[in-house]
Homo-oligomer: A and B are copies of this chain.
Amino acid sequence: MGNKVVLGIDIGGTNIDYGFVNEKGEILERSHYKTNEFNKFEDLVENLYKDVSMQIEKNGFDPAGIGIGAPNGNYYKGTIENAPNLKWKGFVPAVQLFKAKFNVPVFLTNDANAATIGEMLFGGAKGFKDFIYITLGTGVGSGIVVNGQLVYGHDGFAGELGHTIAVENGRQCGCGRKGCLETYSSVTGLRKSVELLKNDFDTSPLFNVPFNNLTGKLIYDAAKSNDRLALKAFDIAAEKLGKVLANAVAVTSPKAIFLFGGLANAKDLIFDQTKKYMEENLLNIFKNKVEIFPSEMKGNEAALKGAAALTWNELTSE
């Protein structure tokens, strides 16, 4: 019997991260591929098998299972379904392929759900039975935990707070609808706010930045030097997020909300304002009960640990 580990795999549009994670959530060995190295998903499975077999031997690992986080990952079916940013089209039977090759338990869900379970097992949400986890990156992802269990819904796709309508007939969203939270409270939304509001302000260091070069970091830096345009963009992001969270609290009544990702790193600009707007919009019985915390997971570890946490959670709750 070696060192019990789970192989976590985080599949993204650019990179595939993988690594061995022990039951304490420590990453013992990690590596990555470029996603476009693999024309067929089967090639990924084969390569990974070869590469990790050596690592298992070398380190004396005893792999208890595999956990996969992937865009449009369906927990129930074990498939990656029509993921727009991945080259493998249609339904990829990821769990089935990994199981056949590795002969260990394999679980899969989408990246936000995996990160949510990571936060619950290895991060700030330890011991929380009811919480909401939000990723504020290029888009807005979320995972909902109720009574200690991730909410998958009947089809495995629950937890899409980023695609609840924050503003009726609002900004055009990539999903085809209008006014989704993601169009306001993501880095993309922040950039959009700067673009749309430019004419309302006399001066801003952001005026000289072409839209394509406008990053969350630049807007953050401007806001920190009190640029009113940048501050307004953050205020909009926090307002829409706070209002959507107020409605979400009325549905699942969580004890806490955790924010992760690019925008959440802008701590003071996001947390206080989001909390303020949420409280203003909460039903009385929920006021002053719900904490908003920053995620305790490191940005470059959360996805990988989350993928492994998915499977640790399954193996230890049986």
A179 and chain B: residue at smallest CB distance: B281
Oligomer: number of copies:
2
Instruction: Check: A251 CB closer than 8 A to any chain B CB.
Output: yes
Provide the bound-state CA to CA distance between A248 and B164, in Å.
Answer: 8
Smallest beta-carbon distance A110→chain B, Å: 11
A151 touches B252 (CB 8 A): yes
Provide the bound-state CA to CA distance between A154 and B164, in Å.
Answer: 23
Number of interface residues of A (CB under 8 A): 42
* Residue interface bits A150-183, CB-to-B below 8 A is 1, else 0: 0111111111110111011000000111000000
B146 touches A254 (CB 8 A): no
Q: Which of A146, A155, A160, A251 has the most C-beta atoms of chain B within 10 angstroms of its own C-beta?
A: A251
Provide the bound-state CA to CA distance between A201 and B248, in Å.
Answer: 37
Provide the bound-state CA to CA distance between A190 and B198, in Å.
Answer: 42
- Can you sample 14 A-B contacts with CB below 8 Å? A72-B285, A146-B149, A146-B151, A147-B152, A152-B253, A155-B255, A156-B253, A157-B253, A157-B285, A158-B253, A165-B281, A167-B168, A168-B243, A251-B251
B154 touches A130 (CB 8 A): yes
Chain A, interface SS category = loop
A164 touches B251 (CB 8 A): yes
A154 touches B251 (CB 8 A): no
B153 touches A130 (CB 8 A): yes
Smallest beta-carbon distance A182→chain B, Å: 11
A251 touches B146 (CB 8 A): no
- Residues of B near A247 (CB, < 8 A) are 164-165, 247
- Residues of B near A72 (CB, < 8 A) are 285
| Chain A contacts with B in 240-289, Cβ cutoff 8 A | 243, 246-248, 250-255, 281, 283-286, 289
- Residues of B near A252 (CB, < 8 A) are 144, 151, 153, 158, 251-252
A165 touches B251 (CB 8 A): no
